[in-house]
Amino acid sequence: MNRDDLLDDLTRYVAEELLDGDAEELDSSTPLLELGVLNSLETARMMGFIQKQYGITVPSESLKVENLQTISAIADLVYEAKSKQQQP
């Protein structure tokens, strides 16, 4: 998994699952929280998708507002969780 693939997957997930396919102006810097795209339920669903898709569990203490602002920030969060899970 590289970052570009992750961004593509997350963007597609947000478009299809959270915006019902209406992703006309969605990109990696779209303010998801500000626009009301993500809420607590949708965040939990997205974390479930990430766990199923990539086998990565994002620690709940990492689910802070600043880590969920954009798709790019979420991708960074997933990469950080992945690197921590790969450490011995």
What domains sit in the chain, N to C, each tagged with a CATH number?
3-86 (1.10.1200.10)
Percent of the chain having pLDDT more than 70? 98
Other beta carbons less than 10 A from residue 49's beta carbon: 15
pTM of the model: 0.88
pLDDT at 44 > cutoff 70: yes
For 53-81, what is each residue's pLDDT tens digit?
999 999 999 999 999 999 999 999 998 88
pLDDT at 82 > cutoff 90: no
The b/e string for 51-67 (b: 16+ C-beta within 10 A; e otherwise) is: eeeeebebeeeeeeeee
For 15-33, what is each residue's pLDDT tens digit?
999 998 777 789 999 999 9
Q: State residue 88's pLDDT score.
A: 62
Helix (H, G, I), strand (E, B) or coil at 43: helix
Question: Nearest Cα to 32, choosing from 51, 50, 13, 49?
Answer: 13
